[in-house]
Structure formats: structure tokens, C-alpha cells
Amino acid sequence: MTTSLKTVVFMGSARSIPAFWGGDKRLGDRVLNWVKATLKDRKGTLGDETISHDVTIVDPVDVFKPDGALGSISAGELSTTTFMMKADDLPEKTKALMETIRSADCYLIVSPEYNHTVPPALASVMGHFGGSLYKCKPSGIITYSPGPFAGMRAAMSIQVMCHELGCLPVSKLVGIPAVSDLFNEDGTPKDPEARMLKQLPELLDQLEWMAMAMKSQREKTGAF
């Protein structure tokens, strides 16, 4: 038996220019592409079930464009929250994004670390929507950095944010240091056997277990 989990991946960075010393416009694209490729090929096992992922990427670069899901009603500074508006007054793209978040079985967050905490783009995108959309589902946190610390300080803050939204983070964290040393620009690993890459399958094992358990309870009793 195969189950396809609806998996929403939130990208945490909206950076659009390289640093003055050079490098990628957005280093996290390498990590995001690796995560997408991993999920595409993923065939997890849980008892006699095979678990795959139906993936939707929520990227603040796209969401906050003038014609994006949030660009026509708000902006990155979170001037208008969707849960303070009547549903009928929301643009169709906003409604569609709300439904994508509401119908998800689990969430993955791919994020850098800005000033040792949650990047504003990530907090804004997720915070535009109320906790009722996220609750009773699990989340997994993947952070990255150009240096050795892998964004782990931000991961601690992102955990708290996810707890408050109701999408409980699994205990396994993925921290990717020195991204340019591990991945090519297209997100393919330079060394597929690199030790740091083994973190993601372990996180997905936990995420899938939690997603299936919570999905079963939501279907039986609804979200409380």
C-alpha cells in the first residue's frame, strides 16, 4: 500500500542579491533543490506502507510578488493577516495558498539564520496564516549557512514558532554547514556519500511516522 503525504516546503529566505564579496544570490537554493530532489525520489516505509510526498514549495520570493498569493493584500512586513479578513474578501491566489497549507499532512522548513534567529521572510509567510491551518500536523526543520554553524541558532527559534502554530517539530534537525562545499549550484551533492547528507533521511523517517499517526487521528476525530 502506498500513501502520498501532502508536504508543504517553506523556503525561509527572500534574498535576491549576492553579498559584496561574491557568491550566490540565494545560497539556500542549493539546499532547497537538494530537498526537492530527495523528496521526489523518496520511498519511505512504515510497516507495510510505502510513503511518498506530494510536494508544494512556498517561496517568499513568489508569494510577495505584486501578483503573488500575498502580494496584493499585504507585504513582507505582515501588514494584513489573512485570519483577520473575511474569506470572501481574499484574492483567489490567497485562498489557494490557504487551502494548500490547510490540506497539508506535514511541513518542511528550509531556512538560513538571520541575526541568529528566524528570518523575517519565513516568519512573515507562515505568520500571515492562523494556527488553525497548521495544527495537529508535524514539521521538520532544515537550516543552513555558508559557515560552520549550519543555522542551528535559528533552528531553535523556528522550533518555538512551529510549536505555537501547532505544527509540532520532530526532534531530528538537519543542519547544513558550508553549503558551497557540499552542493553544486543546482543542488546536486558534490559527494553523495558526505556524512552531513545522511541527516535528511533520518528527519524524514520521523516526519513520516508523525504525519501518518496525526493524519489517522485527524481523519478519525478531526483536529481539536
In tens, the pLDDT along 130-160 reads: 999 999 999 999 999 999 999 999 999 999 9
Do 83 and 34 meet the contact criterion of CB atoms below 8 Å apart? Answer: no
The model carries a pTM of: 0.96
Other beta carbons within 10 angstroms of residue 86's beta carbon come to 6
Instruction: Classify burial at 198, counting beta carbons within 10 Å of its beta carbon; exposed 0-12, middle 13-18, buried 19 or more.
Output: exposed
Backbone region of residue 36 per phi and psi (left: phi > 0; alpha: psi in -120 to 50; beta: other values): alpha
- pLDDT at residue 61, as a whole number: 96
pLDDT number for residue 80: 86
> What is the CA angle 109-121-11, rounded to 5?
30
Give the contacts of 63 (CB within 8 A, at least 6 positions apart): 69, 70, 71, 97, 125
**Amino acid symbol at 13:** S
Domain ranges of the chain: 2-9+28-186
Q: Give the span between the Cα atoms of 207 and 22, in whole angstroms.
A: 36
User: For residues 19 and 26, what is the distance between their CA atoms, to the nearest angstrom?
Assistant: 9
Q: What is the pLDDT of residues 41-59, one digit of tens each?
A: 999 999 999 999 999 999 9
CATH code given to domain 2-9+28-186: 3.40.50.360
Backbone angles phi, psi at 111, to 5 degrees: -145, 145
